[in-house]
Amino acid sequence: MSTQTHVNTAIQTHYTREDLSEVILAALLKAGKDVNRLTPEDLAPIDQFHIRGRMATLELARAAGLDATHRVLDVGCGVGGTSRCLATEFGCHVTGIDLTDEYCRAAKALSARTGLSHLVEYRQGDATSLPFEDQSFDVVWTEHVAMNIPDKARLYREMHRVLKPGGTLAIYDILAGPTGPVLFPVPWARTPDTSFLVAPDELRDLLGEAGFTVTDWSDTTELARTWFVALAEKIRKEGFPPLGFHVLMGADFQAMAQNQGRNLQEGRIVLGQVVAKK
């Protein structure tokens, strides 16, 4: 078994929850939502599976200059939160791809219930071997995904390949911080075996080698720290809400969240919002 195949299997095991659509719908009902008439805002607490949630997605979209003419590929789409947000806010057509089958099924089901099936579609697949023709997309988008991918050179080459000339790469990712090793478990990995962080300088080099020119780079670590402290305090006071990432990740999410907060506070991880051009 190749390293990538072994890692892919471990990652799918990490993220998969049986009957995820039903689990999410039950949580929505518990939160008092009308599951037959859902809005992307209803789903935001559970489907924006990255630090600072929907706010971070909208900031990256504005930095990337998204509009309704763009055909977008969302690499590592999860349960479809970002694709639904971009379709609703900007009117663009979004194709999501994710390694985890269960996420793709949940993404389709939730998009149907929000009336967005005409603007979003989902495929199961591997980000380092994208099942799309060359020059198929105006924008390639990815949030909190590369941490699970060891062969980053191949990942960014594939993203470059499927982008049209002059197209935009939009990244929001967790990167290696200056103070050293990550405390596990974290939301993207229970052990170091499926975690592959690079430092900001390494990411710059990887993008350059893949043929990209970085046009915008924001370090959003401080914003993430503030957001995480507020979230942790809210959970400490009120417990977990009916809707949240714990619904996706299960019982050990509390330990993951605590470590994520410490990793941010102690400089073990940093956050980058990056826009680059082909």
CATH topology classification for 3-277: Rossmann fold (3.40.50)
What percent of the chain stands above pLDDT 70?
93
Q: Taking residues 20-39, what's their average pLDDT? A: 87
With b for 16 or more beta-carbon neighbours within 10 A and e for fewer, the 64-96 pattern comes to bebeeebebbbbbbbbbbbbbbbbbebebbbbb
Task: Give the pLDDT score at 258.
Answer: 86
Domain boundaries defined on the chain: 3-277
Task: Give the pLDDT score at 193.
Answer: 92
Task: Give the pLDDT score at 18.
Answer: 66
Tell me the pLDDT band of 28, cut-offs 50, 70 and 90: confident
Distance CA 63, CA 50 (A): 17
Task: Give the pLDDT score at 162.
Answer: 98
Q: What is the pTM of this model?
A: 0.91
- Among 27-41, 203-217, 246-260, the least confident range: 246-260
Task: Give the pLDDT score at 9.
Answer: 57
Task: Give the pLDDT score at 1.
Answer: 46
